[in-house]
Amino acid sequence: MIRINCPFCGERDHSEFAYGGDASVQYPALDASVEEWHDAVFMRENIRGNQFETWHHVNGCRMWLVVERDTVTHQIHSVKAAHDGIARVIEERQP
Amino acid sequence: MTRYSAWSVFKNGLSGQNNWGRAWRDPEPAKKYDIVIVGAGLHGLATAYYLAKNHGLKNIAVLEKGWLGGGNAGRNTTIVRSNYMMPVNRQFYEHSLKLWENLSHELNFNVMFSQRAHISLLHSPAARDAAARRYNIMRLTGTDAELWDLATLQQEVPHLNYHNARFPITGAAVQRRAGTARHDAVAWGYARAADQLGVDIIQNCEVTAVRREHGRIIALHTSRGEIEATKIGFAVAGNSSRLWQMAGMEKLPIESHKLQAFVSEPLKPLLDQVVVFGVGGAHFYISQSDKGGMVFGGDLDWYKSYAQRGNLPIVQDTCEAAISILPCLGRVRLLRHWAGIMDMSMDGSPFICKTPIENLYLNAGWNYGGFKASPASGWYFADLIANDRPHPTIENFSLQRFEQGINIDERGAGPDPKLHG
């Protein structure tokens, strides 16, 4: 069982979360070229090692998180809110 | 090399089984081959065999980083079927099933293929309608398919939960020619048959780097020295992206996910078919091996992973599904469970295709379907490598299909790899 330290709820089992996907994927502008959309929707680096990925705390606070996890050892290196503004506020409030 | 026969079994029985020769050679890698297949799993071995057999090619090597049958060949639930609906998949898997039907004779090795029927349980009129549509489409291209009512199902499979199931069973969609095979025997059979046709199978030989010059691959650096090659085929599902990046390319429409499988302690004969249960979020398939173990599996672990070990929530989910349709398994002990790394592709269908590198060919993206596909996969991949063009049947198993809008999405799940179980 992977344990994810949710910045809102504390450390919880991964069974409370739903895996999203590769957090490095950025969707292009709506009027971007077909090639750019193709790459964003279909192509993946499929990292073996540390990757940033999204998880949804669906059976908890329902917030989306960005988790840095090793895809071989499952060790988690960092967790933050996926929303940049919220992540910044949490960071500023920490002593 | 001995040809296996009733006579050879009898003769060796008389001499205490001490005079059997090696099943295949253990050659040192040569400096150069015409064709090098990376990955001695079922697909790689089948490819090498059909390259030699169907196309008469020589000077072929198959490189394996571990040992034969140590990867996904030994990490599956050994189910063979061809009940697919999409064009391409239908023809491809039916061709594979036909190859399975003659495989033991073809390879002179008993792969223990047992056509014991594949039974997908139905739980509602809507599911029955969907199955009728699917199975009628299959019959149009010559694949066998039947719909069973409840009475037939109860007679054929008496131990299912017909009394108080959360999702009452109302019938089943059945493919009688489907079944199971012995996974190790398939690897050994293809290895031995390929070896007899002169293919070098080189184990403990991990590719560590790919040397490219002028857009072509010149050689593979391996843990057993550098090996030059004219044509190269990658058949390393689970690690396709890694090798792809080693060859200097970037991304594939693939994510690596792990899928668990389970086997119970051996039981007396209990289940004579492959039974599949999938409703209300459950996904479960079970059969009984010839040794008596109940072999079963369920969903992926739901997050991307390269770890060949499974997580416990899925063990629980799968066992819940087992008990819900076969309550008689309640006190059976789990013997062992394992996880294999699947190439989960963006539409749930595989790739057998040319690549941007002119002498590199790709066989990848097998999702849940790799075991049953292995004979046809090897057949068509060999055809691709030998003729340098895809066979019309597998033209759409290409990397370009997403930009062309011809996704082969059997489940209609969309471009999320983990949903294509």
Q: How much of chain B, in percent, has pLDDT values that exceed 70?
A: 100
Q: Half-sphere exposure (CA, 13 Å, Cβ side) for B36?
A: 27
Task: Quick: pLDDT tens for B48-78.
Answer: 999 999 999 999 999 999 999 899 999 999 9
- Tell me which residue has tokens 């010059």: B213
Interchain CB contact of B266 with A (< 8 Å): no
pLDDT at site B282: 80
Nearest to A1 among B245, B311, B417 (CB): B311
Give CA–CA dist B215/B176, Å, rounded.
48
pLDDT score recorded for residue A93: 87
The alpha-carbon gap from A84 to the nearest alpha carbon of chain B, in Å, equals: 23
Q: Do A14 and B307 touch (CB under 8 A)?
A: no
Reported as type and span, the H/E element at residue A41 is helix A34-42
Distance CA B242, CA B250 (A): 9
Task: Write down how long chain A is.
Answer: 95
Question: Nearest CA to CA, how far is A92 from chain B (Å)?
Answer: 31
Mapped onto helix, strand or coil, the DSSP state of residue A69 is strand
- Residues of chain B found within 8 Å of residue A16, distances taken between Cβ atoms: none
Which chain A residue has its CA at the smallest distance from B241's CA? A46
CA atoms within 13 A on the CB side of A38: 14
The pLDDT of residue A57 is: 98
Mean pLDDT of chain B: 95
Q: Which helix (H) or strand (E) holds A84?
A: helix A84-93
A4 contact residues in B (CB cutoff 8 A): none
B33 neighbors B228 (Cβ within 8 angstroms): yes
Q: Which residues make Cβ contacts (< 8 Å) with residue A60, sequence separation at least 6?
A: A6, A8, A9, A12, A16, A17
Closest-CA residue of B relative to A18 is B302
The answer to whether the CB atoms of B305 and A73 lie below 8 A apart is: no
**B320 contacts in chain A (CB < 8 Å):** none
- CB-based contact A1 B307, cutoff 8 Å: no
Q: What is the mean pLDDT of residues B220-247?
A: 97
pLDDT number for residue B174? 98
- The stretch B105-109 carries a mean pLDDT of 97
**Alpha carbon distance B286, A89 (integer Å):** 50
Give the pLDDT score at B1: 66
Length of chain B measured in residues: 421
> Is B312 in contact with A1 (Cβ distance < 8 A)?
yes
Whether residue B384 is predicted with pLDDT greater than 80 in this model: the reply is yes
Q: Name which of A14, A27, A46 to mutate to probe chain B: the one with the most chain B Cβ atoms within 10 A of its Cβ.
A: A46
Bridge partner list, B251: none
Binned at pLDDT 50, 70 and 90, residue B178 comes out as very high
Which residues from A are below 8 Å from B when comparing CB atoms? 1-2, 13-15, 18-19, 21-22, 34-35, 38-39, 41-46, 48, 51, 53, 55, 71-74
Query: What is the mean pLDDT of the segment spanning B84-110?
Result: 96
Domain that holds residue A79: 3-93
**What is the rounded CA–CA span in Å between residue B299 and residue B232?**
33
**Mean pLDDT along residues B239-252:** 97
- Residues of chain B with Cβ-Cβ distance to A35 below 8 Å are 403
How close does chain A come to B347, measured CA to CA in Å? 9
Count of A-B CB contacts under 8 Å: 75
Q: Do A38 and B403 touch (CB under 8 A)?
A: yes
Q: Does B402 touch chain A (CB under 8 A)?
A: yes
pLDDT at B219 over 80: yes
pLDDT of B78 = 96
Partners of B339 in the β-ladder: B260
Closest Cβ–Cβ partner in A39, A41, A71 for B305: A71
Identity of the residue in A13, A46, A53 whose CB atom sits nearest the CB atom of B241: A46
pLDDT in tens, B267-288: 999 999 999 999 877 899 999 9
Sign (positive or negative) of CA dihedral B410, B411, B414, B415:
negative
The residue of chain B nearest to residue A14, with distances taken between CA atoms, is B313
Q: How far is B243 from chain A (nearest CA, A)?
A: 11
- Contact with chain A for residue B241, Cβ under 8 A: yes
Domains within chain B, CATH numbers bracketed = 27-82+85-107+183-254+347-419 (3.50.50.60), 118-178+256-344 (3.30.9.10)
- Cβ–Cβ under 8 Å, residues B230 and B34: yes
- Alpha carbons within 13 A on the beta-carbon side of B359: 20
The whole-number average pLDDT for the span A65-72 is: 98
Query: pLDDT digit string (tens) for B124-165?
Result: 999 999 999 999 999 998 999 999 999 999 999 999 999 989
| Model confidence pLDDT, tens digit, residues A5-40 | 999 999 999 999 999 999 999 999 999 999 999 999
- For tokens 């560590």, the residue is B208
In angstroms, rounded to a whole number, what is the distance separating the alpha carbons of residues B120 and B283? Answer: 11
Return the SS3 of A91.
helix
Mutation choice for B interface testing from A44, A57, A58, A75 by most B CBs within 10 A: A44
Task: Kindly state whether B294 is in contact with chain A, defined as any CB-CB distance less than 8 angstroms.
Answer: no
Q: Which residues of A touch B65 (CB under 8 A)?
A: none
C-alpha torsion sign, points B235, A46, B345, B182? positive
The CATH number covering residue A54 comes to 3.30.2270.10
- Determine the residue of chain A that is closest to B244 in CA distance: A45
Domain count, chain A: 1
φ, ψ for residue B325 (rounded to 5)? -105, -20
Chain-chain contact of A48 with B311 (C-beta, under 8 angstroms): no
Q: Tell me, what DSSP letter sits at residue A16?
A: G
3-state SS string for chain B: CCCCCHHHHHHHHHCCCCCCCCCCCCCCCCCEEEEEEECCCHHHHHHHHHHHHHHCCCCEEEECCCCCCCCHHHCCCCEECCCCCCCCHHHHHHHHHHHHHCHHHHHCCCCCCECCCEEEEECCHHHHHHHHHHHHHHHHCCCCCEEEEHHHHHHHCCCCCCCCCCCCCCEEEEECCCEECCHHHHHHHHHHHHHHCCCEEECCCCEEEEEEECCEEEEEEECCEEEEEEEEEECCCCCHHHHHHHCCCCCECEEEEEEEEEEEEECCCCCCCEEEECCCCCCEEEEECCCCEEEEEEEEEEEECCCCCCCHHHHHHHHHHHHHHCHHHCCCCEEEEEEEEEEEECCCCCEEEECCCCCEEEEECCCCCHHHHHHHHHHHHHHHHHHCCCCHHHCCCCCCHHHHCCCCCCCCCCCCHHHCC
Of residues B414, B403, B378, B281, the one with CA closest to residue B44: B378
Distance to chain A for B365, nearest Cα, Å: 12
